[in-house]
Amino acid sequence: MTRMTKTLTAVALLSACILSPSFLGGGPAKASEVLQLTTEQYAPFNFEQDGEIAGLGADQVREIMRRTGIAYEMTLLPWSRAIGLAGSQPMTCVFTTAHTVDRDQRFKWVEPLLLERTLLIRAAGSGIDPQDVESATHYRTGTQTGDYTVELLRNAGFADIDLARDLDLTLRKLLNGRVDLMAVSESYFHQLERQGVPVEEVAVLYEQVFSIACSPQTPDDIVVRMQAALSAMIEDGTQAEIHARYN
């Protein structure tokens, strides 16, 4: 083989590699290259609608993934399992996750999906009427296992915390008088109001940043690309449009 033939062969092989689907990212992604996105049933953040996961968190995450071109799978799970997987499995992220002090070092963060207040609420007409958060600590307060509000309640001095497997069960306990108060996001509270659920705001427990939390084993370049996409969405107004979609 002449030197010229060798050179042309090398060029041809390089061209074939460049134009191949796997080189361009057009081929099927390996399982280890697919980002697993876990979340929970928690309207209006994330919820199942017509067989799809929708919500002000889910819609933002789906747009982030569209802009980055990262292969992903999105799964609706009980919250404790959703955040547990993101804390232990490579290439796994959970949303919409409160960025708390306790969680800060356990994840890589993409944020903010939302700046939100956390409220203490009561059943309408219950007669439960603490004057502030400090006096509210004496009441039995409900939330769900593994939720960010557990940490907030404990840090605020609440001792009688009732944990349920999900928010729907906690809400039923509140309405049935089995717990006095319930800790919820402001968005969730307004969702209940729109649905005609008889609940009332008692006090502001905390002001919170909600984010995407990725496992420590998630590659930095993926997290950086996701953050860049979210920052661009905030800048170009896409995030505000999604927020408005869910009131």
Domain harbouring 229, CATH code: 3.40.190.10
The list of the chain residues with pLDDT below 50 reads 1-27
pLDDT at 101: 86
On whether residue 43 sits in a domain, the answer given is yes
Whether residues 125 and 200 share a domain: the answer is yes
pLDDT for res 247: 76
103 & 91 share domain = yes
Check whether residue 172 and residue 57 sit in a common domain: no
Mapped onto helix, strand or coil, the DSSP state of residue 24 is helix
6: in domain: no
The CA–CA distances, whole Å, from 4 to 8, 9, 202, 232 equal 6, 9, 82, 48
Q: How far apart are the first and last CA of the chain?
A: 70
Question: How many folded domains does the chain comprise?
Answer: 2
Within this chain, do residues 120 and 186 fall inside the same structural domain, yes or no?
yes
User: Do 44 and 153 share a domain, yes or no?
Assistant: no
Q: What is the largest CA-CA distance in the chain?
A: 94
> Is there a single domain that holds both residue 176 and residue 222?
no
* Residue 9 lies inside a defined structural domain of this protein: no
**Do 98 and 123 have their domain in common?**
no
| Domain co-membership, 59 together with 178 | no
Q: Does 13 fall in a domain?
A: no
Same domain, 108 and 214: yes
Angle formed at CA 45 by CA 126 and CA 153, multiple of 5 degrees: 50
pLDDT at 7 (0 to 100): 35
Alpha-carbon distance of 180 to 171, in angstroms, equals 11
pLDDT at 4: 35
Residue 64 contacts residue 226 (beta carbons within 8 Å): yes
Q: What is the DSSP string of 137-206?
A: TTS-EEEETT-HHHHHHHHHT---EEEESSHHHHHHHHHTTSSSEEEEEHHHHHHHHHTT--EEEEEEEE
Same domain, 241 and 187: no
Co-location of 178 and 127 in the same domain? yes
Q: Which residue has the tokens 């990262």?
A: 70
DSSP secondary structure, 95-109, as one string: EEEE--TTTGGGSEE
Per-residue pLDDT at 227: 98
100 and 134 assigned to the same domain:
no
Range of the domain at 132: 116-208
